Chain A
Amino acid sequence: MSETAFPINDLLRRKLSTGLTVISLTTCVASTLFLLLFSGQIGLGIASTQLNTLTRGLSMVFGQFLLFVGVLIFAVGAVIVSFIVYLMMAQRTKDFGLMKATGCPNSLVFGYFMTELLGTTLVGCILGTLVGLGTDYLVISMPIFDAYSKAPNLWFAPLVFATFFAFALIFGAKPVLEAARMSPIKALSPLQYFGLGKGAAFKPLSRTGLTLRVASRSLFRRKAATLRIVVFLSVAFLLLTVSIAGGIIANDTSTFWLQKGMGTNIVLVAQNDMATQYTQLLRSFSGATYNAAFNYSDLKLALSPAILQELGQINGVTTVDARLVWKGTVQEVSGWRIDPGTLATINVGADRSTNSLVVGLNPDTLVTTPLTDGTFLNSTSDYYAVVGDSISRTIYAPFYARGAYGNELHEADPLLENARILGRTFKIVGVCIDPINNGNVTYVSLQTLENITGISNPNIALIKVEASADINAILNQMQTHLKTFSPDLTAVSLNGAFEENTHFLSSLWGVVMFLPAFALAAAALCLVSYLMLTIDEQHQEFAILRATGAKPRTVVGILAAQSVTVLLSGFAVGISLGTIITLLILTKIPVVSTFTILAISAWLLAALLSMFLISLYPAVKFARKPLLKIMS
């Protein structure tokens, strides 16, 4: 028997076992590669197609989310691959013993089985890579993903192939090495594989819960295999929890941020062109364009105090928030901090600049207060400023600059720095998330902006209308009043722009949420493969149970109970870790309502139930087999 003939024949003759192992490996490698490629493409798609949308802070939320999901997908794949090959090679332990008992030298036994391992994993990994690439091509070609169909990062293919191949070899070689070192008698003993010791004193099984007890006993006595599947399921459920809970919470949270920044039941009053420009600036969050050369200093845009006073007297109007919208250069003014260790003064920031929308407002009459890190402006904030998150992540972001040791990373923190506008320095007191102009906005007090720009009147008014009031009736009333001042003045509800932005945000999360669906499908496929392998491994025992009078449904019951036990164990661990990661790492200041919790619970329970139902398939299929076929 040649050194290659034996392994090839052995693999070919164990058609079912070899087939299942190759299918499991292929499924796992393919699903991991596909999910990585797909999430990368979605991430790239969002980053590039949405370059002129969202705000930089929100893009970061998407980026972080996809990165984390990618890492978890990789972890799930690695765990299942190592598990599958371990299971396959552990089944060969008895054969090692047999070969050694018949005089086969250690090196040859090792060679035979390493060749088998190498052949199986190579075929599985190659097929998996090809299937993964093909699936990604097919899915991303679907019309729904048109906007995100960026070229895939093909480096993932060799990365997944090499890592999983290495994992498979390392974990598969472990039982081969152990068996090669084992004495033949030990390798031949089933004790070796099952790890059995002396049993506990006999106690008959109770009439009730018989199936469960047989199942739990079987799981307990196959500790190594059970532990591995629980680890796999824990990571799979962790991935699902992070994807589902993270996705839903992040969606709710980002929608809440949007609501804080835009408000509801707000009416914009301005000159016609200014009203269009301001609405477009708000809608730029969802990709709308605006006039970049708009002249905000035009005197005809001014709203007189008389107009504002009259609007405030309309029934149903609660607040009139007059603002001056202007565009100009905002320059970074570096700050400093004391190093607590050395008590030395450290420079923070540099002197970068950017074009920003500058909005002057009266802190006493705010109708919207965007979510702010730090504090928003208050009535005494003469030369204080709040910058939008996109400004914060451009001119106030840490940067590299040449130093004594080459390129060095320099720290920057808007809350320790200042901003210069038209030669005046403003102390930055907060960083806010505001959809207007994609977060490229700086808020200062109205009085100060009027002073430094020389524009004496606000050019827009945001008017808060009571929630119970009929907004259309109030709009009509406003239009009538405004026409008495100027035919160019208009009043428009901002509810439309708000809905457009929230819809855009939800649709982005909707695309991202395809990932958990694919991840669930991949996990289910891997679970079915695992169950088929374990059923194959336990088939002799089930045959004995059937031969001594157990009904097919009893066998299904035992397998179902085993499946439920491992599923619930994995579910508990995965959900707990997933919740912690979601709330502590992925989504800071999360918005979690009762509805959010119900939605997440429903999704996760549906996932658990589907996994359970899918896991029944191999059990039912097995139970339907004729008894003699199982026994032979």
Chain B
Amino acid sequence: MQSTEKPVVISAVQLCKAYQMEDTEVEVLKNIDLTVHEGQFVAIYGPSGAGKTTLLNMISGIDKPTAGKIVVYDKSLAEQNEDVLAEYRCNQVGFVFQSYNLVSTLTVAENIAFPMEWKRATSQEIQKRVAELIETLGLKHRANHFPAQLSGGEQQRVAFARALANNPPLLLADEPTGNLDTKNGERIIQILQTLKAEGKTIIVSTHDADIMPLADLKFFLEDGNLATAQ
């Protein structure tokens, strides 16, 4: 387990999220308390519909809680405006979506590069970083292909590369191996292992038992309630 001496990166207190579905209110997250320290690898598992994606959306600033507080890197996310949240997503978080979410009209290299554009990186910096990520993730032969021309495993690796483009200290991955075969799944686990070794804070929502050994903290999420797991 990581040293708890390290600074707190994420702190969620009594975090609640409810959605209004026509006449009924669906409570997705119920009074969640979560503390994550720098460099920790956190695995959240639980059945489908338990609220894992919603929790990751809260941490990434994509969604806002209906009650409670979430502070990431000393920023209370619920109180920030869209511009501040955009900068936060650009510089401090990398998000690997469950369904990859690649831009269909951009090539692999362009998909990896564009988050760096928001940061106004120079052409040289972008070119260097994209080449580095493409090489590391084994996508060199696919650099100029469009997402529709890639396999699921390749798309997932592009999604990882894009999430890492700005070298964020926090990486969120939503079911990163969920849609992949064993071979591609192993490749992703290797990537996660490398990133952990680099000292990144990583939160993964998963069903994959093979990811669990990497985790410093494991949480079980069911019906919106978060419990520490062994």
A positions within 8 Å CB-CB of B: 189-191, 194, 196, 198-207, 210, 214, 217-218, 221-222, 540-541, 543-554, 626-628, 631
The distance from the CB of A561 to the nearest CB of chain B, in whole angstroms, is 14
B86 and A549 contact, CB distance less than 8 A: yes
Q: For A194, A544, A553, A554, which residue has the most chain B Cβ atoms within 10 angstroms? A: A544
Contact flags B77-106 to A (C-beta < 8 A → 1, else 0)? 000001100110111000101000111111
Contact A191-B148, Cβ < 8 Å, known A210-B117, A547-B89? yes
In the complex, what residue of chain B is closest to A544 when comparing beta carbons? Answer: B101
Q: Which of B97-148 contact A (CB under 8 A)?
A: 97, 101-107, 109-110, 113-123, 126-127, 130, 143-148
- Could you count the A-B residue pairs with CB atoms below 8 Å apart for me: how many are there? 118
Per the bound structure, the CA–CA distance linking A200 and B146 in Å amounts to 11
CB within 8 Å of A: which B167-223 residues: none
Whether the pair B115, A204 counts as a contact (CB closer than 8 A) is no
Query: Taking CB as reference atom, which chain A residue is nearest B92?
Result: A549
Looking at the assembled complex, report how far the CB atom of B39 sits from the nearest CB atom of chain A, in whole angstroms: 23
Contact between A548 and B115, CB atoms less than 8 A apart:
yes
The answer to whether A205 and B115 touch across the interface, beta carbons within 8 angstroms, is no
Q: How far is the CA of A190 from the CA of B146 in the complex (A)?
A: 10
- Measured in the bound complex, the distance between the Cα atoms of B103 and A222 in whole Å is 13
Q: Which residues of B contact A551 (CB under 8 A)?
A: 82-83, 86-87, 118
Task: Kindly state whether residue B27 has any CB partner on chain A within 8 Å.
Answer: no
- Give A553 to B118 CA distance when docked, in angstroms: 11
A189-B148, A196-B104, A202-B127 given. 17 additional CB < 8 A pairs?
Answer: A194-B105, A204-B113, A204-B117, A205-B113, A207-B123, A214-B114, A222-B105, A541-B103, A541-B105, A548-B89, A548-B114, A548-B162, A549-B115, A551-B118, A552-B83, A626-B63, A627-B63
Complex Cα distance, B121 from A472, in Å, reads: 77
A202-B110, A202-B143, A204-B126 in contact; A545/B63 too (CB < 8 A)?
no
Are B89 and A549 touching (Cβ within 8 A)?
A: yes
Report Cα–Cα, A194/B106, bound state, in Å: 11
Q: Contact residues of B with A, CB < 8 Å? A: 57, 60, 62-64, 82-83, 86-87, 89-91, 95, 97, 101-107, 109-110, 113-123, 126-127, 130, 143-149, 162, 166
| B185 CB, min distance to chain A CBs, angstroms | 23
CB-based nearest B residue for A546: B86
- The residue from B91, B97, B144 contacting A549, defined by CB atoms under 8 A apart: B91
Distance in angstroms between the alpha carbons of A32 and B44 in the assembled complex: 58
Least distance between B94 CB and chain A CB atoms (Å): 9
The answer to whether A631 and B62 touch across the interface, beta carbons within 8 angstroms, is yes
Report yes or no: A198 in contact with B145, Cβ–Cβ below 8 A: yes
Closest A residue by C-beta to B54: A628
Name 21 interchain pairs, CB-CB below 8 A, sorted by A. Answer: A190-B146, A190-B147, A198-B145, A199-B107, A199-B144, A202-B127, A204-B113, A204-B116, A204-B127, A205-B114, A205-B123, A207-B123, A541-B104, A547-B89, A548-B89, A548-B114, A551-B82, A554-B118, A626-B63, A627-B62, A627-B63
Given contacts A552-B83, A631-B62, contact A196 B89 (CB under 8 A): no
Whether B83 and A202, one on each chain, are in contact in the complex, defined by CB atoms closer than 8 angstroms, is no
Residues of B within 8 A of A203 (CB): 123, 127
Name which residue of chain B comes closest to A205, CB basis.
Answer: B117
Minimum CB–CB distance from B89 to chain A (whole Å) comes to 5
Check if A191 sits within 8 Å of B146, measured CB to CB. Answer: yes
Contact yes or no, A628 B87, CB < 8 A: no
Closest chain B residue to A543, Cβ basis:
B101
Measured CA separation A543–B57 after assembly (Å): 13
Q: Which 5 A-B pairs have the closest CB atoms?
A: A549-B90, A202-B109, A199-B107, A204-B126, A551-B86
CA distance A214 to B116 in the complex (A): 13
* B residues in contact with A199, CB < 8 Å: 107, 109-110, 144-146
**Interchain CB contact under 8 A, B148 and A190:** yes
- Decide if A207 touches B122 in the complex (CB within 8 Å): yes
Contacts of B109 in A (CB 8 A): 199, 202
Q: A190-B148, A202-B144, A541-B105 are in contact. Are A548 and B120 (CB under 8 A)?
A: no
Contact A194 B104 (CB under 8 A): yes
- Asked whether B118 lies within 8 Å of A548 as measured between CB atoms, the reply is yes
Cβ-defined contact, A549 with B119, below 8 A: yes
* Across-interface contacts of A222 in B (CB, < 8 A): 105
- A552 to B82 CA separation, bound complex (whole angstroms): 7
